Chain A
Amino acid sequence: MSVERKAESDVLVEVESVTKTYRTGNGLRRGTPTVAVDGVSLRIAQGEWVGVVGESGSGKSTLAGIVCGVVRPDSGSVRVAGQEMYARRGMDRIIWKTVQMVFQDPYTSLNPAMTITEIVAEPLRLWHGVDRREADRQAMALLDQVGLSSAVAGRRPGGLSGGQRQRASIARALAVSPSLIVLDESVSALDVSVQAQILQLLLDLKRERDLAYLLISHDISVIRLVCDRILVMNKGEVVDEHSAASLTEETADHPYTRRLLSAVPRMTASG
């Protein structure tokens, strides 16, 4: 389990033994508490692509929420660029200048009442105080960068395909100029050809902007393909950590990781 880590000064996000418990049940009956995330620690360096893989109920989405400042952990600490995230109220708004998120479902993650340009220009105006005309111009440039033509820019999300919407979501996140983008199953709902296009786009953007990504996915193949480092989660805990390049069914030490890898359907490879 030799994992190469970047120098201490490059650490962008530092999650220290966070725990999150959800209580089911209603006001009358206290349901049984469910531990979603149990003592998880995680470091993401500048420009690093970290993947978290796990099955449903592994707590990986809760971890994504914690890193984004959306889910407050019960204990533990999260530091983003040296700042304690859950130290005081309103901290989430400061964190969002550094950490942005792209969601799983491209059909519900864009405001249906706004045009694509408006959606991408909004963070430019609200976070960076750019005036409307300049924001629109920069938004067009961003849309161009994610491969969306000006014909799409004036449309509302309802007129776009799933791949186009996910590109628009990425452009929206980029508009903030974050250092880290959390990708919560962002390519899982897409067809393979579109998925490959989006992954290629993410790789290109990472190279151009020195971005870091945290990719949450149930698909270990996607994670092996693009990530530098893999965390395997099971029942709220990180059970295995591995550098992605060398991970195969043979090199995986943890039995659960091996089980995940062996369950992936094996296509007869083409010659």
Chain B
Amino acid sequence: MASEPGQTVLTVDNVTVELDRPHESTPLVTDVSFAVRRGEMVGMVGESGSGKSLTASAVAGLLPRGVRLARGAVEIDGRAAGTDATARTRHDGVAMVFQNPMTSLNPSMRVGDQVAEAIRLRRPGTSRRDARREAVEVLERVEITRPAERARQYPFEFSGGMRQRVMIAISIAHRPSVLVADEPTTALDVTVQRGVMDLLDRLRADMGLAVLLVSHDLALVGERCDRLLVMYAGELVEQGETENVLRRPLHPYVRALQRCTPEHAIAAGGLYSLPGRVPQAGEVRTGCRFAARCELRTAECDETHPTLDAYAPGHLVRCVHVGRPEQDHHHERRAEGGV
């Protein structure tokens, strides 16, 4: 790929995903926009029902049946990319890995052949033998020891972490610019998770791979990602450099989510439980979608739907209570005194 370091390889522009029903529109993801640069790892966090996985599927061109892209566009390497499989315009600049590697691998096919198949699928001219040789190289790149030998084995002979490496090998075999990783380590033990995450880090350093890491784990994305996108009830509520979002979170939801994590509770010496739950599609009301659970809720929150505004360059937030930095002392005082 001929992209320069730091160059934008993925642009998501106002993507809105709806249930595919004829006479109604139930939005599941609303107006999501962001960009990812070459070699960058961007984390997309949110609880179940936040729309993070659907957004990821739209980016990878794998929107499932039953939903449709209502508005917006995805652009990879400067070219438009389809968002669902039926569009048959899956872009070869993007690949996706999923949570459960076992269900994504063919149990009755040698691992090396599965990687070789992926290579031949993208480059139909490649001979069987060349594809096999290349498959071994790719397995070596995902740090599988004795790759030539392992290529001849079947998925059941691999541990969970090794299978996920194979999935990553299949995904990067055709050298895409963007890898969408949807909860890639959720099913793995923490010690194995660390290895897989280290691998992703090295791949983006070595081949300039851009990674969109979808996760429910705030700590994991906090440790690994350059920038974060926080989703709630189908829309982005905060976006910015990891440092800024986690050290100085602006949106009350992000602060609440942080306080819910066991790590935070241990440090704080007690549990904090955020009441309620994420509204389901179709339950979304006017006003701020987080208002019902928010400790800063005012009448304004119920009336106006806040827009995603820049608080500082690159740090965007969707909350009426967050003003510009110079006005923000007002907000600070309220947050401290009020609750």
Contacts and interface: CB of A to CB of B under 8 A. Distances in A.
Direct A–B contact present (CB less than 8 angstroms)? yes
B145 interface: no
Interface stretch (A97-105, A125-133, A136-144, A190-198): A190-198
A193 B274 contact: yes
Interface stretch (A7-15, A85-93, A150-158, A259-267): A259-267
Contact of B271 (A200, A218, A266): A200
Contact of A193 (B264, B266, B277): B277
B191 A55 contact: yes
Interface stretch (A38-46, A110-118, A219-227): A219-227
A8 to B, nearest CB: 31
B257 A260 contact: no
B261 A263 contact: no
Nearest to A188: B186
A56 interface: yes
Given A192-B257, A193-B257, A218-B190, A265 B277 contact: no
A164 B265 CA distance: 22
B277 A163 contact: yes
B258 interface: yes
B160 A56 contact: yes
B190 A263 contact: yes
B295 interface: no
B256 interface: yes
A83 interface: no
B223 A267 contact: yes
Interface size range of chain A in the complex = 20 to 34
Interface string A179-223: 000000000000111111101100100000000000000111110
A269 B245 CA distance: 10
Contacts of A178: none
Contacts of A218: 189-190
A230 B273 CA distance: 23
Contacts of A226: 271
A222 B264 CA distance: 11
Given A161-B277, A224-B262, A268-B243, A191 B48 contact: yes
A263 B160 contact: no
A263 B272 CA distance: 24
A219 B256 CA distance: 20
A159 B337 CA distance: 40
B246 A221 contact: no
Nearest to A221: B262
A65 interface: no
Contacts of A269: 246-247, 264, 267
A33 interface: no
Nearest to A194: B277
Contacts of B274: 193, 196-197
Interface in A31-76: 55-56
A21 B260 CA distance: 39
Interface stretch (B17-25, B122-130, B162-170, B211-219): B211-219
- Pick from A56, A221, A263, A267 the residue with the most CB of B within 10 Å: A267
Nearest to A248: B266
B216 A265 contact: no
Contacts of B248: 270-271
Contacts of A266: 219, 222-223, 263
A268 B47 contact: no
B255 interface: yes
Given A162-B48, A199-B271, A225-B265, A193 B260 contact: yes
Nearest to A264: B190
Contacts of B257: 192-193
Contacts of A260: 190-191
- Pick from A193, A219, A220, A269 the residue with the most CB of B within 10 Å: A193
A271 B248 CA distance: 7
Given A55-B191, A191-B216, A268 B222 contact: yes
A161 B249 CA distance: 28
Given A161-B277, A266-B223, A268-B246, A191 B262 contact: no
A221 B242 contact: no
B150 interface: no
Nearest to B261: A192
Interface in A231-271: 259-260, 263-271
Contact of A196 (B242, B247, B273): B273
Contacts of A225: 262, 265-266, 271
Contacts of A267: 218-219, 222-223, 246, 258, 261, 263
A191 B190 CA distance: 17
Contact of B189 (A55, A203, A224, A268): A55
A265 B191 contact: no
A155 B35 CA distance: 43
B91 interface: no
B193 interface: yes
12 contacts: A55-B190, A56-B189, A193-B256, A193-B257, A200-B271, A225-B266, A265-B193, A267-B246, A269-B246, A269-B267, A270-B247, A270-B249
Given A193-B257, A195-B262, A267-B263, 6 more contacts: A55-B190, A161-B277, A199-B273, A263-B190, A267-B223, A270-B246
